[in-house]
Structure 1
Amino acid sequence: MVIATYGALTGSKLLRAGAAQKMERFLTENEPGAGPVAGPALVQQGDADRIVDPSATAELVGRLCRKGVRVEYESYQGRDHNGVLMPSLPETLSWIAGRFAGDTAPSDCAS
């Protein structure tokens, strides 16, 4: 829906002059992993994702690992950005249940 509505807009038709500069600080502060992370993370992505490049996700996982965050990273073969939601649901629910049970979160980070 968003792409259908705004996909053809570029440059000055999409943003007012100066808008990008005003948003830069906001976008930088909201970059995942830019600030402290209070708990473990479950990161799931389809390897056919065209919205969030898998290499960007790999960089995020590395950044979180370097900060000492326990990160479990799962890639779903042949799934795109939205196509990963249903196949990952059982694992997501199990991961959350483990946190509520007090189990130590699994981590794919190198020790």
Structure 2
Amino acid sequence: MHGIGVVLAAKLLGHIGDATRFPTAGHFASYTGTAPLDASSGNRVRHRLNTGGNRQLNSVLHTMAVVQARDPGPGRIYHQRKLSEDKTPAEARRALKRRLANVVCRQILKDQQASMGTTT
């Protein structure tokens, strides 16, 4: 995955452990602190930073989001689209972090299932 090196990948895998303990990507996002909290008022729908969850995993996803928003690729396209939807840079980065949490969860579950299939 773009934006993650060996050290961050090890931190990610070490903190997650058994990925099957997360029934949905939403549970994983909540665990990592990337699931946004509703902060709407009136007609303006907003979400704010979730300060809960595993802060180490949130830090890894933040680094991935910053790198992907900076470099050309699908992450930058998504970030630019959020900015064009009148999101603030922080809101666009939070949305990208949430999307990356889904990608990471899906990839880890896929890798874990593949490794279990090859050992049995």
Q: Larger % of helix: which? A: 2
**Larger Rg over CA atoms:** 1
Is the structural similarity TM-score above 0.5?
no
- TM norm structure 2: 0.25
Say which structure is richer in strand.
Answer: 1
